[in-house]
Amino acid sequence: MSIENQTFTEKYDLLGCIQCGRCTGGCPVTVRAELNVRHFVDQAYDEGKLDELARLAEIWDCTACHTCAVRCPKGLKPLEVLIGLRSMIVESGKVEPTVRDALQSVLLEGNPWEKARAARTDWMEGLDVKVAEEGQEVENLIFTCCTIAYDPRVQVVAKNMVKLLNQAGIDYAFLPEDESCCGSEVFTIGEEGLFEMLVEDNTEYLNNFNAGRIVTLSPHCYTTYKTHFPDIRIPLYHYTQLLDELVQEGSLSWKGELQKKIVYHDPCYLGKQGGIYDEPRRLLKSIPGVELLEFDRRRERSLCCEGGGGKMWIESQSTEERLADTRIKDARELGADIVAAACPFCVLTLEDAMKGLGYEEEMRVAEITELLGELIEA
């Protein structure tokens, strides 16, 4: 049987489900939304009910943190059932205008932020940055990420990365402006056709480079490439792995110190999905003066910030406390001066929460590269 002819039940292995409830039990948004993902896995068995299920608003509450999939004892991915239902809506065209515009922007400009492709490398202006040419041999090929390339708040990740790599003196090159979206959010929004196109195009595009490894700046790109792009031939790394390596071997060291209490927030796409927990912590601990704190809900038990799953373009109807608010309150209770993350989405949502709660004066949300960048200039 070909994949195309699979029924919904076959595609998501619904008959493998034993209704144990670990998916819903672990789902972080149940405290603020109606979503019960197990219920969907149970109900979607009835093909006649799919349209009705797809119309339920709560399918858009999923943040694609993947906790349900990680915890499932039978290897199912319950969130993908929700994505399957979303794709029915996307196909019918009845999506929020914000979502529609983001998808269209990916199709036309290669990014979901409705920015021109030509402006993708504007952040490089004034920087001594190496840019890759097709066919060029390079040890570390850097994949920037749409959000980091365009969002003025997190462009600093890329900018500081340039400084850090120059400082370390290693062989690297950033992808030029024809770098396109990894499709992380396209996949979770459920635009299957567009995502398939991105898989084909990006695989071909990236394989054309003669690179030792691809280093992604966002964990969303990292995990999406690892999971959904089986034909990329070049080994994939997240930048925290590369920087950790450079610090361990002594190629990077810090000037000055940072007398701060830092709590590290594990991004879902880096930790739960990518299995990378220790490198970001080692990086933070390498900074002189830093006292590294830990959330109670850390590592495999980290709490989602609600930044993924297309949530950047879909406003939740819930009036309950946002998870990012919970996170910031927990950090404040710990006495943290800085909440550090290694993900552009986490930084954006956590900083929003911090500002919303009015803690701006006493706390700071920072991407790890932000902190490190300040320590090579000092």
Partner 1 sequence: MSEKPKVGVYVCHCGINIASTVDVEEIASFARDLPNVEVARTYSYMCSDPGQNLIKEDIREHGLNRVIVASCSPRMHEPTFRKTIQEAGVNPYFLEMANIREQCSWVHDDLEVATPKAKKLVAASVAKVRLLEALEETEVDAEPATLVIGAGIAGIQAALDIADAGFKVYLVEKTPSVGGRMAQLDKTFPTLDCSACILTPKMVDCAGHPNIELMTYSEVEEIGGYIGNFDVKVRKKARYVDFDKCTGCGDCANECRVKDRFPNEFDQGMGKRSAVYLPFPQAVPAKYTIDPEQCLYLTKGKCGKAPKCQEVCGVGAIDFEQEDEFVEFKVGAVIVATGFDPFDPSKKPEYGYDDYPNVITGMEMERLVSASGPTGGKITINNGEEEIEPKEVAFIKCVGSRDESVGNEYCSRVCCMYTAKQAHLVREKLPDANIRIYYMDVRAFGKGYEEFYDRVRRENVRYIRGNPSEIFKRGNKLVVKAENTLTSTPVEDEVDLVVLGVGMEPRKEMRDIMDLLRLSQSQDRFFLEAHPKLAPVDTATDGVFLAGCCQGPKDIPDTVAQAKGAASSAMIPLARGKVTISAQVAEVNEATCRGCGFCVEICPYSAIEMVTVNRFGYEIEVARVNEALCKGCGSCSAACLSDSIQPKSFRDWQILPQIAALGAMK
Could you say whether residue 49 binds partner 1 (CB under 8 A)?
no
Q: Which of 12, 14, 24, 63 binds partner 1 (CB under 8 A)?
A: 24
CB of 28 to partner 1, least distance (A): 9
Smaller CB separation from partner 1, 34 or 360: 34
Please check whether residue 300 is in contact with residue 272, taking contact to mean a CB–CB distance below 8 angstroms. Answer: yes
Give residue 273's identity as a one-letter amino acid code. Answer: Q
Could you say whether residue 130 binds partner 1 (CB under 8 A)?
no
Residue 179 CA to residue 299 CA, distance in Å, equals: 31
Smaller CB separation from partner 1, 78 or 183: 78
Q: Which of 14, 38, 155, 264 binds partner 1 (CB under 8 A)?
A: 38
Here's the x/- map for partner 1, 261-300, by CB under 8 A: it reads as -----------------------------------xx-xx
Please check whether residue 244 is in contact with residue 282, taking contact to mean a CB–CB distance below 8 angstroms. Answer: yes
Could you say whether residue 218 binds partner 1 (CB under 8 A)?
no
Q: Which of 12, 22, 237, 348 binds partner 1 (CB under 8 A)?
A: 22
Using the contact rule CB under 8 A, the part of the chain among 29-37, 77-85, 309-317, 349-357 near partner 1 is 29-37
Could you say whether residue 15 binds partner 1 (CB under 8 A)?
no
Smaller CB separation from partner 1, 30 or 286: 30
Smaller CB separation from partner 1, 306 or 367: 306
Token duo for residue 17: 């489900």
> Could you write out the DSSP letters of every residue in 119-184?
GTTGGGTTS---B--TT-EEEEEEE--HHHHH-TTTHHHHHHHHHHHHHHT--EEE--TT-----H
Please check whether residue 174 is in contact with residue 136, taking contact to mean a CB–CB distance below 8 angstroms. Answer: no
Could you say whether residue 318 binds partner 1 (CB under 8 A)?
no
Using the contact rule CB under 8 A, the part of the chain among 46-54, 71-79, 114-122, 125-133 near partner 1 is 71-79
Of 67, 70, 19, 66, whose CA–CA distance to 45 is shortest? 19
The three state secondary structure string of 249-315 is CCCCCCCCCCCCEEEECCCCCCCCCCCCCHHHHHHHHCCCCCEEECCCCCHHHCCCCCCCCCCCCCC
Could you say whether residue 43 binds partner 1 (CB under 8 A)?
no
Residue 39 parent element (H or E)? helix 37-43
CB of 76 to partner 1, least distance (A): 10
Footprint of partner 1 on this chain (CB under 8 A)? 18-27, 30-31, 36, 38-39, 67, 70-75, 296-297, 299-301
